[in-house]
Amino acid sequence: MHLKYESIVREPLVDGNKTYRQVTEDIISPIEKKPGKMWYIGFFISLILLGFGAFSVFWEVYFGIGVWGINRTVGWGWDITNFVWWVGIGHAGTLISAILLIFRQGWRTGVNRAAEAMTIFAVMCAGQFPIFHMGRVWDAMFVLPYPNTRGPLWPNFNSALLWDVFAISTYFTVSLLFWYSGLVPDFATIRDRAKTKFRKRAYGLASFGWTGTAKNWQRFESLSLVLAGLSTPLVLSVHTIVSFDFATSVIPGWHTTIFPPYFVAGAIFSGFAMVQTLLILVRKILSLEEYITLGHIEAMNKVIVLTGSIVGVAYLTELFMAWYSQVVYEQDAFNWRIIGPYWWSYWAMMTCNVVSPQLFWFKKLRRNIPFTFIMSIVVNIGMWFERFVIIVTSLYRDYLPGSWTYYSPTWPEVGFYIGTFGLFFTCFFLFAKYFPVVAVAEIKFVLKTSGDNYKRDMAKEDEKSLEEFVHENSHH
Amino acid sequence: MAIKKFAVACYDTEDTLFPAVDKVRHSGYKLHDVYTPFPVHGLDVAMGLKETDLHVAGFIFGLTGTSTAVGFMSWIFTSDWPINFGGKPNWSLPAFMPIVFELTVLFAAVGMVLTYCYLNQIMPGVKKHIFHPRQTDDYFVVVLELNEHSSEQEALAFLGTTGALETNIQIAEEGWWYGRWDEEETYELAK
């Protein structure tokens, strides 16, 4: 027997009077009901967006990359902006599930499942952009090192762009494995309480025949811990390598050593914002307010204000280094970012990412749901502009004034971006309908230490003196 | 595998489960397994299970990934197809590091998950006997294996003294088989 004790000073992670059975009921029953009208409307809109995206991509593949607004000077435009934006969003899930597991942050249990799902869908969206940016997309497998009839000619393993291929695909695979290994026991729960034949069969397949023996759970815990340990450096490496795409070049505005930590902080910043956007809606629609509590939302807002401030420091450091380096190209690049033709994007970035998140220093605002929801969208707009600023405003005035240009996207570029929203939300709607959006087994695991009804009993324990407490709990 | 006779007892809190497991271990009955809806810490120790070596498998797969990446890139850039990148050395180990790291993580994760599935005997299409439908919901299910000499009544009476909520006798396949979860199997003991 072991002691289940956590001080009442800590906020409960699960509100209400919950038993194990009630936890199952609350989280699984939406899967067994017919979805509401809002679900159908949302899902249908997502499918339309996805369809429009597919058409835009078809247009680009059929007529070639020339239908996009990018040109010889601005070779990367909306496509790579969107790629970096989506990958960045994808960072929150693994951060929550891996890094917070290692730091023993109990509050991760309520939000990790949905955040990991978001990660996987965001990385799927991100991957589309570099693939279709290749132009001749049917040759996309050339980036893989397979024995081919062209030599065999291998890809350049010293190129940051190839590192990216490895980083993103590894990240996707490992996140998927981590996510699914946690889902298997929950699918078994759905299977064993299923009333319809089809559901029993489908979740029977999805649950891999899980029965929950003590040995299986022991291996499960070992697997989770090691996967968390592997994912922790992985999540930091992915955006580091994405930043290498820029930092290893010699373009003013890109060629800086600050990029890896600055990109990682920005990625976590935007990822948490997206988690907030989704979870505030999910907890309301699926009535999961007792599992995704105000405490969870506040904890994530704290991460947002921290990473937002790191990003702000990085912006200012960039400006300082441009001045301090006395390199005229670097100075001009930053000067034009601030007052050049793209000034609006720079100031949108500064306002949304640096200024507005500072409001989260106020506890009242951190715990205000409508405000958090608006802020989460503001942050993601800001982070989109950050990538746009880095990419476009470093490229549009290059070393030769004769090739200076002004870049604007065309409809297939915008349509492609809209299409990835379609893909993302189509996946997320299906996830919210057919998957347990909160990790059932993990909630049960923390219930007796962090559940509201169990914590009330801890008040008695808290009143005891230390000697009394030790005396009662150490005779083992 | 083998079809056997089992005595099943269900508990709904850890406070009754742990003493029950302890009692079973000192009773002379063979403890088949304990099924829980979530990982119960300390249960493996209470049952006398060994610590898993799964993480060792992860380490070995990780090393395989590291050596695959280093070996493959070194072979390509020094012997199979050396390319001169701006006069830099062909064997440029620092530039290999990102891919070496990614492949280490990839091999470790994929290898470990496959090992995990193999050890736990789980795979799509695999079916196992469920002793109680609530064993993945809120019940802790302790299962004893009976042999031809054991008395069913005695086993049930013994389990009753451990504070079980429900007890029963089941005849079931002890391992796994390929099957559909929407179909019921019935078994009889071989004579």
| A165 and B CB contact within 8 Å | no
| Residue in the structure block whose two tokens are 């065309």 | A410
- Measured between beta carbons, the chain A residues lying within 8 angstroms of B119 are 219
Of the partner residues B33, B54, B128, the one whose CB lies closest to the CB of residue A214: B33
What's the pLDDT at B4?
87
**DSSP 8-state class, residue A67:** G
Touching check for A157 and chain B: CB below 8 Å? yes
Tell me which residue has tokens 């939300």. Answer: A425
Q: State the total domains in chain A.
A: 1
Rounded CA-CA distance B100/B77 in Å is 14
Mean pLDDT of B100-117: 95
Residue A9 lies in a domain: no
Query: Could you tell me which chain B residue has the CA closest to the CA of A165?
Result: B99
Q: What is the DSSP string of chain B?
A: --EEEEEEEEESSHHHHHHHHHHHHTTT-EEEEEE-SS--TTHHHHHTPPPP-HHHHHHHHHHHHHHHHHHHHHHIIIIIS---STT--SS-HHHHHHHHHHHHHHHHHHHHHHHHHHHHT--TTEEE--S-GGGGTT-EEEEEEE-TTS-HHHHHHHHHHTT-SEEEEEEEESSEEE--TTS--------
Q: Mean pLDDT over residues A194-205, rounded?
A: 91
- Whether A470 is in a domain gets the answer no
CA–chain centroid gap for B87, Å, is: 53
C-alpha separations of B97 from A15, A199, A340 in Å: 46, 46, 39
**CA distances, B130 to each of A191, A193, A395 (Å):** 11, 12, 62
- Predicted pLDDT at A418: 96
Strand bridging mode B166-173 / B30-35: unpaired
Q: Could you give the CA distance from residue A337 to residue A346 in angstroms, rounded to a whole number?
A: 6
Q: Which residues of B touch A143 (CB under 8 A)?
A: none
Q: Find how far residue A415's CA is from the centre of its chain.
A: 22
Give the largest Cα separation in chain B, rounded.
Answer: 84
B136/A178 touch (CB, cutoff 8 Å), yes or no: no
Residue in B37, B103, B122 nearest the CB of A20: B37
Closest partner residue to B128 among A1, A163, A211, by Cβ? A211
Contacts of A267 (CB under 8 A, 6+ apart): A87, A88, A89, A90, A91, A238, A239
| Nearest CA-CA partner of A265 in A234, A217, A305, A301 | A305
A163 CA to chain B: closest CA distance, Å? 6
- The maximal CA–CA distance of chain A, rounded, in angstroms, is 83
> Which helix H or strand E contains A273, and what residues bound it?
helix A259-285
pLDDT of residue A2: 45
Answer whether A212 touches B (CB < 8 Å). Answer: yes
The phi and psi torsions of A249 (rounded to 5 degrees) equal: -90, 180
Our CA-based measurement puts residue B128 at a distance from the nearest CA of chain A, in whole angstroms, of 6
Nearest chain B CA: its distance from A190 CA (Å): 9
Distance in Å from the first CA to the final CA of chain A: 8
| Residue of chain B minimizing CA distance to A28 | B137
A57-66, B119-128, B166-175: range with lowest mean pLDDT: B166-175
For residue A151, the model assigns a pLDDT of 81
Written in H, E and C, the secondary structure of A13-36 is CECCCCCHHHHHHHHHHHHHCCCC
Structure tokens belonging to residue A474: 């150490």
DSSP assigned state of A68: S
**Cross-chain CB nearest to B73 (options A157, A174, A177):** A157
Residue A8 counted as domain residue: no
Centre a 10 Å sphere on the Cβ of residue A408 and count the other Cβ atoms it contains: 11
User: What's the rounded Cα separation, in Å, for the pair A1 and B20?
Assistant: 12
Q: What is the mean pLDDT of residues A283-290?
A: 86
Nearest Cα residue to A235 out of B101, B57, B55:
B101
Mutation for A interface: B64, B77, B102, most A CBs within 10 A: B102
DSSP state at residue A359: G
User: Rounded mean pLDDT of A120-132?
Assistant: 94
In the stretch 428-467 of chain A, residues with CB closer than 8 A to chain B read 440-442, 444-445, 448
A188: which chain B residues are within 8 Å (Cβ-Cβ)?
Answer: 136
Over residues A106-119, the mean pLDDT reads 88
**Dihedral angle of Cα A312, A316, A321, A323, to the nearest 10 degrees:** 160
From CA A66, how far away is CA A454, in angstroms rounded?
A: 63
- A319 occurs within a structural domain: yes
Phi, psi torsion values for A399, nearest 5 degrees: -65, -25
User: CB neighbours (10 Å) of residue B61?
Assistant: 21
Q: Tell me, what's the pLDDT at A455?
A: 73
* Secondary structure class of A437 (helix, strand, coil): coil
Minimum mean pLDDT range among A81-90, A312-321, A459-468, B45-54: A459-468
Q: For chain A, what percent of residues have pLDDT higher than 90?
A: 64
Q: Do A19 and B138 touch (CB under 8 A)?
A: yes
- Locate the chain A residue with the closest alpha carbon to B134: A192
pLDDT band at B42 (very low <50, low <70, confident <90, very high): confident
Domains of chain B in sequence order: 3-50+127-178 (3.30.70), 54-120 (no CATH)
Q: How far is CA B103 from the centre of its chain?
A: 26
pLDDT at A463 over 90: no
Dihedrals phi, psi of A456, to nearest 5 degrees: -60, -35
Separation in Å, CA B172 to CA B6, B185, B186 = 7, 9, 8
> Which of A101, A192, A221 should one mutate to test binding to chain B, selecting the residue with the greatest count of B CBs within 10 A?
A192
In a domain, A461, yes or no: no
Interchain proximity B34–A198, CB inside 8 Å: no
Distance (Å, whole) CA A194 – CA A204: 10
Chain B neighbors of A218, CB-CB under 8 A: 39, 44, 49, 51-52
What gap in Å lies between CA A160 and CA A153, rounded to an integer? 18
Question: Is A397 buried (19+), middle (13-18) or exposed (0-12) by CB count in 10 A?
Answer: buried
Residue in the block written with tokens 């989506």? A86
Q: How far apart are CA A464 and CA A445, in angstroms?
A: 26
Residue A289 inside a domain? The answer is: yes
Quote the CA–CA distance of A3 and A214 in Å, as a whole number. 20
* A2-26 confidence digits (pLDDT tens): 456 667 777 778 887 888 888 888 8
With cut-offs at 50, 70 and 90, classify the pLDDT of residue B1: low
CB-CB under 8 Å, B101 with A192: no
Set of chain A residues whose Cβ sits within 8 Å of the Cβ of B125:
205, 209
Residue A208: the pLDDT is 93
Query: Could you report the per-residue pLDDT of A216-232, keeping only the tens digit for each?
Result: 999 999 999 999 999 98
Neighbours of A263 (CB within 10 A): 29
Interface test with B, best of A3, A20, A201 (most B CBs within 10 A): A20
Any bridge partners for residue B168, and if so which?
A: B8
Q: With contact defined as beta carbons under 8 Å apart, do B147 and B131 qualify? A: no
Q: What is the CATH number of the domain that holds A247?
A: 1.20.1630.10
Amino acid A12: pLDDT: 79
Asked whether residue A458 is assigned to any structural domain, the reply reads no
State how far Cα B186 lies from the chain centre: 25
Buried b or exposed e, range A213-240, using 16+ CB within 10 angstroms:
bbbbbbbbbbbbbbbbbbbbebbbbbbb
Q: Which residues of A touch B81 (CB under 8 A)?
A: 151-154
Inter-chain CB proximity A223 and B125 less than 8 Å? no
Q: Is A149 on the interface with B (CB under 8 A)?
A: no
The CA-CA-CA angle for residues B118, B124, B126, to 5°, reads 75
List Cβ neighbours of A63 (8 Å cut-off, separation of 6 or more).
Answer: none
Cα–Cα distances in angstroms (integers) from residue A378 to residues A221, A270, A295, A384, in the given order:
38, 10, 21, 10
Q: Does residue A250 form part of some domain?
A: yes
A192 touches chain B (CB under 8 A): yes
Interchain CB contact of A205 with B (< 8 Å):
yes
Is B24's pLDDT higher than 50?
Answer: yes
pLDDT of A352 reads: 92
> Which DSSP string corresponds to A393-422?
HHHSS-S-GGG-------HHHHHHHHHHHH
Task: Please report, rounded to a whole number, the percentage of residues in chain A having pLDDT higher than 70.
Answer: 98
Tell me the residue range of the domain where A308 lies: 20-450
B182: nearest CB among A173, A201, A227: A201
Minimal CA–CA distance to B81: which of A147, A162, A248? A147
Q: Which of B14, B35, B92 sits opposite A158 (nearest CB)?
A: B92
Token pair 């050395």 is found at B89
Chain B hits for A208, CB-CB cut-off 8 Å, are 117, 122-124, 126
A148 touching B (Cβ < 8 Å): no
**Closest approach of chain A CAs to the CA of B98, in angstroms?**
6
The DSSP annotation for A139-194 comes to GGGGGS----SSSSPPP-TT-HHHHHHHHHHHHHHHHHHHHHHHHHHHHHHHHHH-
> Measured between alpha carbons, how far apart are the two ends of chain B, in Å?
16
